[in-house]
Amino acid sequence: MKDNLLQKLKALNERYMELERLIADPATLANPAQYGTYMKERGSLSRIVQRYLQFTQLLQQKEEAERIVSGGEDKEFQHLAREELQGLEAKEKELMEDITNQLLSREGGAQGGVIMEIRAGTGGEEAALFAADLFRMYVKYAERQDWKVEVFDSSPTEIGGFKEVIFSVEGEGAYQRLRHESGTHRVQRIPATETQGRIHTSTATVAVLPEVEDVEINIDPKDLKVETMRASGPGGQKVNKTSSAVRMTHIPTGIIVRCQDEKSQHKNRSKAERILKSRLHEFYEEQERQKRDKTRKGQIGTGDRSEKIRTYNFPQNRVTDHRINFSLYDLEKFMLGHIDELLEQLQAYSREEQLRQLVATH
pLDDT tens readout for residues 23-41: 999 988 888 878 888 887 8
Question: Is the pLDDT assigned to residue 240 strictly greater than 50?
Answer: no
The pLDDT assigned to 103 comes to 73
pLDDT at 235 over 60: no
The Cα–Cα gap between 338 and 145 comes to: 11
Mean pLDDT of 270-295: 76
Phi/psi for 202 (5° steps) reads -135, 170
**Would you say residue 214 has pLDDT above 60?**
no
Burial class (CB in 10 A: 0-12, 13-18, 19+), 146: exposed
The counts of H helices and E strands in the chain are 9, 11
Residue pLDDT, tens place only, 164-181: 999 999 988 888 889 899
At 292 the pLDDT is: 47
Q: What is the DSSP letter of 233?
A: -
Residue pair 142/169 in contact (Cβ under 8 Å)? The answer is yes
What is the pLDDT at residue 213? Answer: 61
Average pLDDT of 106-115? Answer: 66
Confidence of residue 270 (pLDDT cuts 50, 70, 90): confident
Orientation angle between helical segments 75-108 and 340-360, nearest 10 degrees: 100
Residue 238 has pLDDT above 50, yes or no: no
Q: Which domains does the chain have, with CATH numbers?
A: 2-108 (1.20.58), 114-215+298-356 (3.30.70.1660), 221-290 (3.30.160.20)
From 13-17, 151-155, 356-360, the region with the lowest mean pLDDT:
356-360
Beta bridge partners, 170, equal 148
Convert 239-270 to b/e letters by CB count within 10 Å (16 or more is b).
Answer: eeeeebbbbbbbeeeeeebbbbbbeebeebbe
- Best mean pLDDT range from 45-59, 103-117, 174-188, 249-263: 174-188
Rounded distance between C-alpha atoms, residue 183 and residue 300, angstroms: 4
Among 145-159, 202-216, 310-324, which stretch is predicted with the lowest mean pLDDT? Answer: 202-216
Phi-psi domain of 109 (left: phi exceeds 0; alpha: psi -120 through 50; beta: other): left
Mean pLDDT of the chain: 83
Q: What is the DSSP letter of 357?
A: H
Give Cα separations from 232 to 58, 126, 201, 266, 276 (angstroms).
65, 22, 29, 17, 21
User: What are the residues whose beta carbons fall under 8 Å from the beta carbon of 19, sequence distance 6 or more?
Assistant: 38, 41, 42, 45
Whole-angstrom distance, CA of residue 185 vs CA of residue 137: 13
How high is the pLDDT of residue 311? 97
pLDDT (average), residues 233-255: 72
- Phi, psi at 158, each rounded to 5°: -70, -20
Percent of the chain with pLDDT over 70: 84
pLDDT value at residue 274:
87
Compute the CA torsion angle 207, 211, 214, 217 (nearest 10 deg).
Answer: -30
Contacting residues for 284 by C-beta, under 8 A, at least 6 apart: none
Q: Mean pLDDT, to the nearest integer, of 111-120?
A: 86
Amino acid identity of 254? Answer: G
Position 320 pLDDT exceeds 60: yes
pLDDT for 294 beyond 60: no
3-class DSSP state of 193: coil
Q: Is the whole model's pTM more than 0.75, yes or no? A: no
Q: Pick the residue with more confidence: 248 or 71? A: 248
Strand order in the sheet with 255-259: 224-229, 245-250, 255-259
Are 207 and 299 in contact, with CB atoms under 8 Å apart? yes
19, 42 in Cβ contact below 8 A? yes
Give the HSE-up count for residue 205: Cα atoms under 13 Å, Cβ half-sphere. Answer: 16
pLDDT beyond 90 at 3: no
Out of 33-42, 107-116, 136-145, which region has the weakest mean confidence (pLDDT)? Answer: 107-116
